[in-house]
Structures are given as C-alpha cells and as structure tokens.
Structure 1
Amino acid sequence: MRLFSSFTISFFLLLVTGCRVAAPVEPMANSPISTAFVNNRPAADTLNAGRQPWRQFFQDPALAALLDTALRQNLDLQVALQRVEGARANYLARRGALLPTVSAVGSAGADRFGRYTLNGVGNYDTNFSPNVEGARRIPETLTPDFFVGLRSNWEIDLWGKLRSRRQAAYLRVLASEQGRHLVTTTVVAEVARLYYELLTADNQLAVLARNLALQREALKLMRIQKQAGRATELAVQQFGAQVLRTESLAHEARQRITEAETGLNQLLGRFGRPITRGLPLPGQVLPARLGAGVPAMALLRRPDVRQAELELQAARADVDAARAAFLPSLTLTPYVGFNSFRGSALFDPTSLAYGALAGLTGPVLNRAQFKADYRLAVAGNFESYYRYQQALQTGFREVVNGLQGLENYRAAAAARQQEVALLTRAVATSNELYVAGYATYLEVITAQRSVLEAELSLAESRQAQLLQSVSLYRALGGGWQ
C-alpha cells in the first residue's frame, strides 16, 4: 500500500510540474497582404501562364532542348533531390519512434561477490539448502551469467509528443519536395534568361558587324575625298574613331556571348560545349497576352510559398512536441529469453525467463534543457511565420511588377522599333545631303552613331521583354510542372 501511495504521489508531481508551461503564443492570424490581394486584384483572365508547362510556354525548340538537358543534369537539382531523401530518412526515424524496438541480445558475464555482501551471503546460504543440488548449485568463486533472447523498449506516446515529431518530419518532407520544385523553377528561369541574353548578344554583334562594314566604307570614302581636297584630316580622324569604337563594342558583345554560353553549360551540368541557337532575337515570339488569373491562387501555386507554409506547419508541430516533453513519459521494457549461470543449462526449457518493467519519468528539477527546447521551438515557429509572410509579399510584388513590366517593355520595344526605322532613313538622308554639300561630316557621323545606338537599344528592349515574360512565368509558379 505504501508503494502504491508513493507511486501515486510521484505521478501527481510529474503531471503538475510537466503541465507548468504556458501555451504557445501564435503569430498574428491576419496578414496585411490579404487585403492587398483584395484591393489589387486585376480583372479575371482566362489565360493563367503559371499553369502552363514549360514545354508549352517556351516555343523555341532549341531552348526546350536546353531546358530538358538542364532538368536532367543540373547539379543544384541533384542537391535538392538529396535534401528530399534526407527529409524522408528523418521522417522514417520519427515514424519508427512510435513503434517498439526489439533487439536480439546475447550476453555473457561473470561476477565475484564479496563475502559480506547480500549476493555473496545469499549465494553461500542458498547452496546449503536441501532443495538445491547438482547443476543448480551456484558457483561460489565466480558466478557466470548467460543470456540469449529478446529485449524491447517502447515509449507509450501518452501526450502526442512522438506523433507531433512525426507530423513535423512528414511536413518537412513535403516542404523539401516544394524546395525541389523551387530549384526546378529557378533553373528553368535561369536557362531561359541566359538563352535570351545569348540571343541578344548575337543580335547586337550582327548589328555591330553590319554598321562596322558601313562605317569602314564611309572612312574609305572620306580618305578618298581628303585626297581630292574635299575633306580634312579631322573628318578622317572622326570617322576612324567611330570605327574603333564600334570594334570595341563588338569585342564586348563577343565577351557577353562567351559568358552566356559558359553560364548555360554550367546550368546544363556540363563543361564547355557549343550552344545551339533557335530563332534569332527578332523572331522570338510570346503569347499574345500573359495573365495571372487570381493573384492569391497564383501565389499559392508558387513553390516557395508552399514550402514556407509547410515549414510553418512543421514548426507548430515542433512547438507541440516541445510542450509535451514537459509531461511524464511512460516506457515499457519487456524481455524474454534463456538465462542461466551455467552454459550447459542455458538452452534448457527450464531456463526460460521473461519479464517487463514499466517506468514513468518526467522532469521535476533543472528543466533548463526542456525550457530551452521549448523556447527554440517557439522562436522557430515565429521565424517560419515571418518567412511565410515574406514569401507572400515577395510573390505579390513579383506578380504585380511582372504584369506591369511586360506591357511597358512591349510598348518600349515598339517605340524603339519606330525610332530605328526613322534613324535608318536619317542616315541615308545625311549621306545624300553630305554629297550635295548641304550637311557636314559631323551630321553624318551623328546619324550613324544614333542609328547604331538605337539598334543596340532595340535589342536590349526585346531582351527585357523576353526576360520579363520569364520573370512573370516564374512569379506565377510556373516551370516545375
């Protein structure tokens, strides 16, 4: 009766001290971005670019081939895949903690008990009993102990601590999958970006080569006119300087081509190889209109938002597990096997032994480690919440900027196309006026320089338009399907 009362008092103390932990403070449920979704929602659009697979969004076959290679060989994707495997291994361990562990045990030992000890006196006295004879007599000098059997350990999940840890591990597996999708989206966007930069550099190099040929012809003509007395050395020097400047721009374009090609090869998980081009930059086409649909739905499809949401749920499960750690835990340790102090009688049926022990343990004094774990879990919960809000705000900003930027860059490219057409006619006009004596050589140089800059700027505008479409596609959660 006294033993039962002591056990009851101990259990009560463990339960009371274990429950002395405040409920976790939940982050704010309302987010400012929720009202932003409502107030800044554009008109509904039947075309939701984020739902399109990348093979459908990118029409260039050469780009599609590069993307296919990158998704098979990119090293960042291989690293992300291993992170998923690591999360799955952690989930396997957490799930196994709910089940009893069973170990096969084979042990042998020997003890020499002192003459004035309980075991020493007991063994010595037992051997004088008329009921103990033969092999049942206990060896007195050294007492062996042999055991062959099974031992088990099983923590009963009374308060859901182990289940919360399993839930957190499972959510992190899902989060790691979303992290892999995020890497996939990033790789697709980076390959497309570098490909379009490569096409832009190709286009600019072609523009520079064409203008360089015209400028060299103009320089040659100016030297002839100088010999005829119709031009000065200053004019020859001005035209020569313009040729040298164009040549320097061509070298810079070649360097951009090299950097884009090496960047693409790295994303494709390989060393230097030629990059196959598809349609040139002016021939690249986009869908007639890219729409986001409902921004909230688009953001919830983004891998980074999904990952942050799952990490938040996992952090909340960590808080539940940390709170449950303050409560007493019940552990069962049964065993069954053959136990004997004589090896010859170890596997005798009468040597079969079994038993079980139930233990209730919980923190009473010096609970600093449990408090620290709880505070870490709460801090991690708040951190995950703020990261989730950060992912939502980042996604909202990228979607809005992408939608507005695509239209603005489309208009800018159209205006610069008209500018190039006008300046091209201005170059022809300036040449005609110079031959007729109504324009100076400086006006010819200015016209040639203006059309060159306009053509280079037009290539950059087309590139910006293409890159904006890629950014919007990524912002809408596309690219990983």
Structure 2
Amino acid sequence: MFKYSLYICALALVLTSCHVPKIIEPGRHAELPATFGTSSDSSGTAAVQWRNFFNDKDLAALIDTALKNNQELMITLQEIEIARNDVRVRKAAIAPSVTVGGGVGVEKVGRYTSQGAGDASTEIKPGKEMPDPLGDFRVAATANWEADIWKKLRNARDAAVARYLATVEGRNFVLTNLIAEVANSYYELLSLDNQLLIVRQNINLQKNALEIVKVQKEAARATELAVQKFQAEVLKSQSLEYELLQQVKETENRINFLLGRYPQPIPRETTHFLTQLPSDVTTGLPAQLLANRPDIKQAELELTAAKLDVRVARAEFYPSLGISAAVGLQAFKPSYLIKMPESLLYSLAGDLAGPLINRGAIKAEFSTANAKQIQALYNYERTVLNAYLEVSTELSNIGNLEKNYDLKSKEVDALTRSIDISNDLFRSARADYLEVLMTQRDALEARLELIETKKRQLVAVVNIYRDLGGGWK
C-alpha cells in the first residue's frame, strides 16, 4: 500500500511539473560613458558631508531642523518600518508554525445513529467510566510546516529584504532632495532680499530725479510730460517692491513648510550675497553614480526583488509538501488528562499537492511577474540615464553661468556709471529726460539680472551636489 502511495505521489509530481514556463531574462542595459567629458579624476564632491559643503551657519541650522521635522521624511521612515515588518513575516513563513491551545466540549449522540447504536452494543452499565453525554477535554501543541523544496519561501524572503533595502535608499533619496530644496529656497530668499534692496535704492534715485524735473518745470526747462513720466516710473518701481515682498513671504513659508513648522522669520545674512563664491565641484567618474545616487540603488534593488518574484511565481507550478504534527493530552474527564499514556494523543501527516486545474491563473501570475521584472529593468536604465544627463546638464550650466555673471557684472558697472553721466547731462539740459529714464530702467534691470544670475550659480552648485548623490551620507 505504501508502495502504491509513492507511485501516486511521483505521478502527481510529473503531471504538475510539465510545461513550466521559462523565465524571461532581461537584456543587458547600456554601459555608462567613461567620463563626463571633463576630467577622469575619481575624487567626487558627493563624498563631502553636507555640513562641510554648506558654509553658511544659518543655512546649516535650517537643514538640521528640516532633517528632524520634515513630514515627508517621517513618512519614508514609516515605509521603512513597514518593509522591515514584511521581511519578518517572510522569514517566519520559512520556519514551522507552532500553536498551543486547549479546548472543552460536550457531545450527546442520538441512540438511533450509527455511533449511538455502536455505543449501545457495548452494553455499558451504570457506574462505568463512559459517561453520557460525552465530555471532551484536550490540551495540545500543533505544528505546520511547508518544506521549501523549490526555494519559493526563501526567494520571497529575499525579495522582501531587497524591497526593505530599497525603502532605505528611498529615504536617502528624500534626504538629499530635502537638503537641496532647503538650500535652493534659502538662496532664492537671499536673492529676493537683495533685489528688494536694489529696488528701494532705485526708488530713492527716481524720487530725486522726479524732484529735479519738478524744479525744472517751474523754471520752464521741463514739461508736465516729463514730470508724469518720472512719476510713472516711481510708481512702477513701488509696485515691483510689493511683488518682491510677496515673493519673500512665499519663499519664507516654503522653507518653514520644509522645516515642518508654522510661519516664523528665517534668519539670514543678506549683505554678502553677491560676493559669495560657489563651492568648487569635482564630478568624479560616472560609474561612481551607481554607488552614490540613492535613486539608482533603489531602482537596482527593486529590479533584484522583481527577479526574485519571478522565481516565486514559477515555483507555484511545482507541488508543495506540507507536514503537520500534533501532540497533547485528551480525555472525557479533566481528572483523566494526567493519566499516561492513555490520555496521550499525537499525529503526523504529510501532504503533497500541486496545481492541476487552475494552472491558467498561475500562468497569468507568472506572466505578470515577468512583465514587472522587465518593467523594473527599464526603470533602472532610465534612472541611470537620467542621473548622467542631470550631471552633464548642470556641468554645462555652471560653466555658462560663470561667463554670464562676468559679462553681467561689467554691464552693471557700465550702466551704473551711465546713470551719473545722464543725470549730469540732464541738469545741464544736454540730455533728454527719456535718456535719463531709460538709463535708470536699464540699470535696474541689469542689477536685478545680476542678482538672479548669482542665485542661479549657487543653485546650480547645489543641484550638481544633489545629482552626484551628495547630502545623504
């Protein structure tokens, strides 16, 4: 009989293992270029800690507060905890599950049933140990275990571990983006402060010119048209002042939001903004992006998990071996539970089961896992490509902004000198009032553009620090 059982199990194994689909191996992704086209130096700015990269003590204090209070960062920490718990669940599935329990029951069987008739045939007399109704008292430990023959459970555990590590990298990616966002908003706030200062200085300059025109009008050396033109220019600059004040408020609130707090003043030093020098940046080698960028490592780990998911789905085609066992005490009276070995119970059973009818659903799950694996590969390739292009773009941006700032500084110097010249010519009636107005307007625009260019320089350095994978270590 045992021999026939083995034959049946072997036949079931053969039937359920036939025509198992093959795993689709994703193609190889394109390799990164050897350099960024500038230098082959292997030392990169990404290795510098953010406290050493940002020298502004006010900015460092803001970043420190953001790392403690930012809600998005707190959300990612809970995602890590969720993934860690999933790993624990997958690990527990590999080991046998053991439960301990007890039960109490009572049963009265009808006399005219097969069991009741059998009891009657035993001619149990009053005073015998078999009561009616029959009680049931038991205490037992039960164990169930699925033998991981095809590594299904271990692959599921390893996939959970890979996803847990991916959430850790996701948290690092949030960290580096948070630091960059706080720094960029801070530099934007400094640029707005300086633009506001320039506009207010220009308003005073325009008001002085307006008073001169009014005096000239009274002396019949200027017309009402000139007065109105200068008045309109003053009003335009005053309107711009309030626009900048609103932008300052919005930027302060954005920083406070990143810091996880309600509106309050942002401490900052604005007087040395234009004299700040962007930090020196070394890119290192493109291959270092694979180790430094958290989003690349996250995509790589998600690809690893997707590959393991395919193996888990493929193992569903094979039979599973389940083993169950129980040991305990059982009797119809509580006092009999301690009588050994009469009250002892134990059981041991093995089950071999494989899919036969529902293979279509398992094939669909397997195909889905394969598609997600290929999807994860494309996501990884896209993340690597995007990282390289971001660094390449910011490198070009830094170089062009440096040249732009030098030319813009010369333009501001020239226009600043032209203001004094135009005012002197206007006082001596050798220049038209429109020339004075246009000179002042051009000088204001050039100064504002110079401040904007300085902000873009500082932001570009922050962005390339982020794009190289700096900030989270």
In the alignment, which residue of structure 2 is the partner of 1:211? 202
Equivalent-residue separation in structure 1 for 2:340 and 2:357 (angstroms): 46
C-alpha contact (below 8 Å) 2:137/2:334 kept by paired residues: yes
Question: 1:30-429 residue pairs with structure 2 within 5 A?
Answer: 30-31=29-30, 34=31, 37-38=33-34, 41-45=37-41, 47-115=43-111, 119-126=115-122, 134-135=128-129, 137=130, 139=131, 141-279=132-270, 280-287=272-279, 289-350=280-341, 351-429=343-421
Query: Is residue 428 of structure 2 the alignment partner of residue 436 of structure 1?
Result: yes
Give the 3 Å change call, closer, same or farther, for CA 154–192 of structure 1 in structure 2: same
C-alpha contact (below 8 Å) 1:184/1:479 kept by paired residues: yes
Equivalent-residue separation in structure 1 for 2:466 and 2:237 (angstroms): 36
Equivalent-residue separation in structure 2 for 1:71 and 1:475 (angstroms): 19
SS across alignment from 2:137 = strand
C-alpha contact (below 8 Å) 1:261/1:275 kept by paired residues: yes
C-alpha contact (below 8 Å) 2:140/2:326 kept by paired residues: yes
C-alpha contact (below 8 Å) 1:11/1:360 kept by paired residues: no
What is the number of equivalent residue pairs in this alignment?
A: 471
Q: CA deviation at 1:10?
A: 3.4
Equivalent-residue separation in structure 1 for 2:105 and 2:451 (angstroms): 84
Q: Match of 2:76, as an amino acid?
A: A
Q: CA deviation at 1:393?
A: 1.3
Q: CA deviation at 1:104?
A: 1.0
- The TM-score normalised by the length of structure 2 is 0.95
C-alpha contact (below 8 Å) 2:43/2:284 kept by paired residues: yes
C-alpha contact (below 8 Å) 2:293/2:467 kept by paired residues: yes
Among the aligned pairs, what percent are the same residue?
A: 41
C-alpha contact (below 8 Å) 1:155/1:331 kept by paired residues: yes
Q: Match of 2:93, as an amino acid?
A: A
Query: Is residue 457 of structure 2 the alignment partner of residue 465 of structure 1?
Result: yes
SS across alignment from 2:106 = strand
Q: CA deviation at 1:253?
A: 0.8
Give the 3 Å change call, closer, same or farther, for CA 65–233 of structure 1 in structure 2: same
C-alpha contact (below 8 Å) 2:29/2:381 kept by paired residues: no
SS across alignment from 1:298 = helix
Deviations along 1:321-351, whole A, 9 cap, x unmatched?
Answer: 1111221111111111111122331232231
In the alignment, which residue of structure 2 is the partner of 1:474? 466
Q: CA deviation at 1:397?
A: 1.0
C-alpha contact (below 8 Å) 1:262/1:272 kept by paired residues: yes
Give the 3 Å change call, closer, same or farther, for CA 465–440 of structure 1 in structure 2: same
Equivalent-residue separation in structure 2 for 1:331 and 1:127 (angstroms): 42
Equivalent-residue separation in structure 1 for 2:348 and 2:25 (angstroms): 42
Q: CA deviation at 1:170?
A: 0.5
Give the 3 Å change call, closer, same or farther, for CA 50–370 of structure 1 in structure 2: same
Match of 2:441 among 449, 456, 461: 449
Instruction: Decide which moves more: 387-396 or 74-83.
Output: 387-396
- The TM-score normalised by the length of structure 1 is 0.93
Q: CA deviation at 1:381?
A: 1.0
Q: Match of 2:227, as an amino acid?
A: V
In the alignment, which residue of structure 1 is the partner of 2:16? 17
- The Cα RMSD (Å) is 2.0
SS across alignment from 2:274 = helix
SS across alignment from 1:283 = coil
C-alpha contact (below 8 Å) 1:186/1:474 kept by paired residues: yes
Deviations along 1:233-257, whole A, 9 cap, x unmatched?
Answer: 1111111111111111111111111
Unaligned runs of 5+ in 2: none
Q: CA deviation at 1:114?
A: 4.9
Q: Match of 1:86, as an amino acid?
A: I
Equivalent-residue separation in structure 2 for 1:11 and 1:235 (angstroms): 105
Equivalent-residue separation in structure 1 for 2:210 and 2:111 (angstroms): 117
SS across alignment from 1:154 = strand
Q: CA deviation at 1:168?
A: 0.4
Equivalent-residue separation in structure 2 for 1:18 and 1:126 (angstroms): 51
Q: Match of 1:142, as an amino acid?
A: P
Equivalent-residue separation in structure 1 for 2:238 and 2:14 (angstroms): 83
Q: CA deviation at 1:436?
A: 2.6
SS across alignment from 1:166 = helix
Q: Match of 2:86, as an amino acid?
A: N
Q: CA deviation at 1:189?
A: 0.8
Deviations along 1:375-427, whole A, 9 cap, x unmatched?
Answer: 22112212211111111111111010011111111111111111100110111
Q: CA deviation at 1:205?
A: 0.2
Q: CA deviation at 1:360?
A: 1.1
C-alpha contact (below 8 Å) 1:14/1:364 kept by paired residues: no
Q: CA deviation at 1:50?
A: 1.1
Deviations along 1:27-57, whole A, 9 cap, x unmatched?
Answer: 21132xx1x5137543123651111111111
Equivalent-residue separation in structure 2 for 1:171 and 1:410 (angstroms): 43
Unaligned runs of 5+ in 1: none
